Homo-oligomer: A and B are copies of this chain.
Amino acid sequence: MRNICIYLEFLSEAHKEQIRRTAAETGFTPHFFPLEQFEEARACLQSCEVLYAHSADLLRAAPASLQWYCCSFAGVDLYCTDPTLFANPRCLLTNSNGYGITISEHIIMALLMLMRRMPAYLEGFQTHQWAPPLPIRSICGSAFTILGTGNIGANAAQRLRGMGAARITGLSRSGRPQADFDQVLPISRLEEILPQTQFLIMALPGTPDTLHLLNRSRMALLPPTACVINVGRGSAIEQEALVEALNAGRLAGAALDVMDPEPLPPDHPLWSAKNILLTPHVSGNMTLGRTCDVNVEMFCQDLRNYAAGRPLEHLVDRARGY
């Protein structure tokens, strides 16, 4: 008997049915547990070959016979940095990068909120004051730099293009050309690109390479009119330097959906930095039906691959971190 333990919130009946059907076709039996049934999931997991979840605690409780952990999140840095999580050192790890649509919509929203001075207008809104008009900027005709050209960066580029962006530069490890980007450069050229960047969109995985990628000295290369948006990992930004730059007016604004640490403590200086917008790591909110649809489809596709002994499409290189 080949078993799959599925420990997830947000699965609809249709999603479960799709998983059941795929499992039946490939000789597996799925066992579903809502988040409140952790103990039941752990007990079942002992006889499972596959785990579909986003729970380090459950993974830590898995037997050495676990062969594949499909994480329902896109960011799997946690699973690449803590080797004690896997009793089976050769356990396969896949991620779920069906977040491109919802996170790119978050990027467009955050960008427009910064361009259109919402931090200032929201202050007037809170105090019931009719604020005078402020100079604003527009996506149409502007240039953008996107760090990370994966599913999220590419979806953002496509939307910016559709709204009339003048020029979209992507930075990736390889620098390989990609549709929807005017140019893609290797990330090693970041320091050359920053002085010409007005809008910096960061959609990078959390790896040793991206830790403090936007550090104090690189931040200083951005013009004072520049805005920063981060939807990847909080660790990619040197936060103390960001707070100082914003408060000193050396940067025009920032919108962060990811921070370090999370949850951000109530007394953290990021909360009250000038022209900042913080959202509590919700840009890739799984409640968006479409996100869940894509992620479940990815899992089913890789279940067919796994059963047939083919390479997994969404396999993560644990050493590289994504």
Residues on A facing B (Cβ under 8 Å): 101-102, 105-106, 108-109, 112-113, 115-116, 118, 121-122, 124-126, 128-141, 159, 161-164, 262-264, 266-268, 271-272, 277-280, 282, 285-288, 290
Contact = CB atoms under 8 A, between A and B. Distances in A.
Contact of A105 (B116, B131, B271, B279): B116
A267 B130 contact: no
A137 B288 contact: yes
Nearest to A140: B101
Nearest to A164: B101
Nearest to A136: B285
Contact of A162 (B102, B112, B121, B162): B162
A34 B116 CA distance: 24
Given A163-B159, A163-B162, A278 B125 contact: yes
**Chain A at the B interface: SS class:** loop
B108 A112 contact: yes
Nearest to A101: B140
A289 to B, nearest CB: 8
A136 B280 contact: no
Question: Ordered nearest first, which 6 A-B pairs have the shortest CB separation?
Answer: A162-B162, A130-B263, A109-B112, A128-B266, A135-B287, A128-B271
B262 A130 contact: yes
Contacts of A285: 116, 133-136
Given A264-B130, A285-B133, A109 B116 contact: yes
Contacts of A115: 105
Contacts of A266: 128-129
